[in-house]
Amino acid sequence: CRILVMASGFGSNFQALIDATRPPAGELQNCRIVSLVVNRKGAHAIARADAAAIPWTYRNLIGGGFVRKGEADERAVADGRRRYDAALAAQILAAPAGERPELVVLAGWMHVFSTAFLKPIEEAGVRIINIHPALPREFDGANAIERAFDEFKAGRLTRTGIMAHYVIDEVDRGEPIIVQEVPWEGEELDAFKEKMHVHEHKLIVEATAKVVREILESRTSQKPSS
Ligand code: GRF
């Protein structure tokens, strides 16, 4: 199964996916990460791609011909985003057949896709999933771990969680694939974040493997019977 990963930062979830494609025990041994897309030049994920000989492309959201600096009003930004999304989808779908991804995994991708990206990708039969460090319908969007932690400290909550989900055009609201609760056991923020990341790295691999199994099954069922 061919996977394309999108990441904006440190790339530890991307690394978990790379490691899982490696023998002997990798859960994603039947997969190949065909490429990485980053939207931040400083993303450490780039170094991880280089180390694993995975080709990567940089698509800057601001500048790069998609959103011009100074186009600050809402409509211009929305138009710019749609242009960016449509161009990125076109780039992905233009890959030659043997390199074209069957699955896109967002692994710390700090950009909310509009239907200008999602529609052509879905119409081409490419699935798209995301990992988010919160339970469904709690702490959507950025800084989910920090916001949950504030609730722990205020005595209003004792657990948060992680989910992998299909991507729709509402932030962190697509159909969940795997959901896991993570209890707060009195740790300070850094230790709690670390604990969340360890769980995330397992969950992103499990969820990807689950979707890959479905893709492989649908490939088999599409083969004409003789
Ligand atoms: C992860 O917590 C991910 O769930 C969130 O952003 C973080 C990215 O971490 N959306 P990394 O870049 O994979 O290390």
Instruction: Name the band, by pLDDT with cuts 50, 70 and 90, for residue 221.
Output: confident
Closest ligand 1 atom to Cα of 131: 4
Q: Where are the domains of the chain?
A: 2-222
Identity of the highest mean pLDDT range in 26-30, 46-50, 59-63: 46-50
The binding-site residues of ligand 1, defined as CB within 6 angstroms of any ligand atom, are: 7, 9-14, 107-108, 131-133, 200
* Active site (catalytic) residues: 132
Ligand 1 geometric centre to CA of 13 (Å): 6
> Is residue 40 helix, strand or coil?
coil
Asked whether residue 68 carries a pLDDT value surpassing 70, the answer given is: no
pLDDT at 198: 98
Q: What is the pLDDT of residues 138-150, one digit of tens each?
A: 999 999 999 999 9
Find how far residue 111's CA is from the centre of its chain.
Answer: 10
Nearest C-alpha to atom 9 of ligand 1 is from which residue? 108
Ligand 1 geometric centre to CA of 221 (Å): 35
Residue 84 CB contacts under 8 Å (≥ 6 apart), including other chains: 59, 61, 66, 67
Averaged over 69-75, what is the pLDDT?
60
Averaged over 6-30, what is the pLDDT?
95
- Helix-strand-coil split of the chain, %, nearest 5: 40, 20, 40
ipTM: 0.95
Averaged over 1-28, what is the pLDDT?
95
pTM: 0.93
The sheet with strand 56-58 has its strands ordered as: 56-58, 32-38, 2-7, 103-106, 127-132, 159-166, 176-183
Q: Percent of the chain at pLDDT above 70?
A: 92
Averaged over 110-132, what is the pLDDT?
95
CATH number of 2-222: 3.40.50.170
